[in-house]
Structure 1
Amino acid sequence: MKWVMAWLAGLLFGAGLAWSGMADPQRVLGFLDVAEMWDPSLLLVMLGAMGTYAVGYRFVVRCPRPLLDGAFHLPAERRVDARLLLGAAVFGAGWGLAGYCPGPVLAGIGLGNADLVWLLPAMLLGWWVSARWLRR
């Protein structure tokens, strides 16, 4: 049952990315281009996501446990350190260069964007290298 719910959540997330335009790299790059032709539409998408999360999180953590698991799995680390900042900078640089972050890459492949077939292996390789580097 857990994998069915995970699949449905991923499908809903991907549909939301596609519907909002975040699976279109030109819209994302337009949002990041604050110097010339800034497209603020994704700001509304982000504000909507933040509002949904803020309400949903408050509701969910009041429950004694998740519906399909024995306990919540929240991060233990709460401080901002150099590793977090470096990871955020690398993530942001990749997002700015490609016009995609990981979720929209998968949604874009689902929408038939053949160019992303080249981006997905590079993204997976980056995750693998990062995981190997962090274990050291």
Structure 2
Amino acid sequence: MSFLVNLALGLLFGAGLVVSGMSDPAKVLNFLDLAGTWDPSLAFVMGGAVLVAFVGYRLVLSRGRPINAESFHLPTRNDIDLRVTAGPAIFGLGWGLGGFCPGPALTALGLGATGTLAFVPAMLLGMWAARLLADGGLRSHTA
């Protein structure tokens, strides 16, 4: 049953990405082009997402425990280090250059968008490289 619920939620999320225009790199790049053909419509998508997440987190965290687990697994660290600053900066550069972020890229790949044929493998390579660096770099994997 859990698989079907997750599948339905994933399809709903993907449909939301397509309807909002997040899977169209031209729309995303127009949103980021403040000095040119700026399209503010994605700000409303982001505002709606923030509102839904805010309410959802409040409702879920008001429960004593999750439905399918013994406890919530929330982050305990609150310091700012290189990973917290460099990771989002690299993510933002990739988003600005390619017009995709991971979720919409996978949705656009399913729609057959040609730009994703280069972007998704590069994204997966970047995720692999980030994991490799986080796990101690090449030293621990060659020794």
TM category, shorter: over 0.9
Gaps of at least 5 residues in structure 2 are 137-143
How many residue pairs were aligned? 136
Alpha-carbon separation, structure 1, partners of 2:68 and 2:114: 35
Greater relative contact order (Cα < 8 A, sep 6+): 1
Percent of residue pairs identical:
49
Q: CA separation in 2, counterparts of 1:128 and 1:4?
A: 28
RMSD of the TM alignment (CA)? 1.3
Following TM superposition, by how much is the alpha carbon of 1:3 offset from its aligned partner in structure 2, in angstroms?
A: 2.8
Which stretch of structure 1 is more off in the superposition, 61-70 or 15-24?
Answer: 61-70
**Deviation at 1:41?**
0.3
The one-letter amino acid paired with 1:63 is: R
Alignment of 1:64 onto 2:86: no
Per-residue CA deviations over 1:88-127 (Å, capped at 9, x if unaligned) read 1000000000000000001111222133122111111100
TM value normalised by structure 1: 0.93
CA distance in 1, matches of 2:7, 2:76: 26
Alpha-carbon offset, residue 6 of structure 1: 2.2
CA distance in 2: counterparts of 1:79 and 1:7, whole angstroms: 35
Report SS of the residue matched to 2:96: helix
Find the structure with the greater CA-based Rg: 2
Alignment check: 8 A CA contact 1:2 1:68 kept: no
In 2 relative to 1, CA 79–2 (structure 1 residues): closer, same or farther, beyond 3 Å?
farther
Mapping of residues 1-136 of structure 1, within 5 Å: 1-136=1-136
**2:9 and 2:68 mapped to 1: Cα distance?**
13
CA deviation after TM superposition for structure 1 residue 20, in Å: 0.4
1:113–1:79 distance in 2 versus 1, CA, 3 Å: same
Q: Structure 1 residues 83 and 126 mapped into 2: Cα distance closer, same or farther (>3 Å)?
A: same
Unpaired runs of 5+ residues, structure 1, are none
Paired residue type of 2:21: G
Q: What is the distance in 1 between the residues matched to 2:9 and 2:67? A: 14
